[in-house]
């Protein structure tokens, strides 16, 4: 598990060791959309999930870039369902 509270720090990680990422939208340095685009440009092929307090108020064009979206106020079970879904699909689909 890799935990980072700074987007530029997260971009320095070895993406080969990552199976799934949760990113916020409102962060210091850059927003979640920009982080996702930079991760994809760095050949990140794993699912990237938007976890934000305003996930469903963002434009569809932004939400559609992410593998899934979840609101920060959602029950933990919803996050666990997303993890399980991508865990079982992980070897099937290239998300990059």
For residue 78, the domain's CATH number is 3.40.50.2300
Q: What is the pLDDT of residue 17?
A: 83
54 pLDDT band (50/70/90 cuts)? confident
Q: What is the pLDDT of residue 10?
A: 86
The structural domain count of the chain equals 1
CA 52/CA 93 separation, integer angstroms: 24
- Range of the structural domain that residue 61 is part of: 7-88
The pTM score is: 0.86
Q: Is 94 part of any domain?
A: no
Judge whether residue 77 has pLDDT over 90.
yes
Residue pLDDT, tens place only, 64-75? 999 999 999 899
Judge whether residue 5 has pLDDT over 60.
yes
CA 87/CA 42 separation, integer angstroms: 22
CA 51/CA 79 separation, integer angstroms: 9
């Amino acid at each position: 598990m890799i935990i980072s509270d700074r987007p530029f720090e997260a971009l320095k990680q070895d993406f080969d060791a990552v199976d799934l990422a949760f990113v916020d939208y409102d962060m210091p340095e850059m927003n979640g959309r920009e982080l996702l685009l930079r991760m994809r440009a760095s050949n990140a092929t794993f699912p990237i999930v938007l976890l934000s307090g305003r996930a469903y108020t963002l434009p569809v064009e932004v939400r559609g870039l992410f593998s899934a979206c979840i609101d920060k106020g959602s029950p933990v079970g919803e996050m666990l369902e997303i993890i399980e879904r991508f865990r079982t699909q992980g070897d099937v689909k290239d998300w990059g």
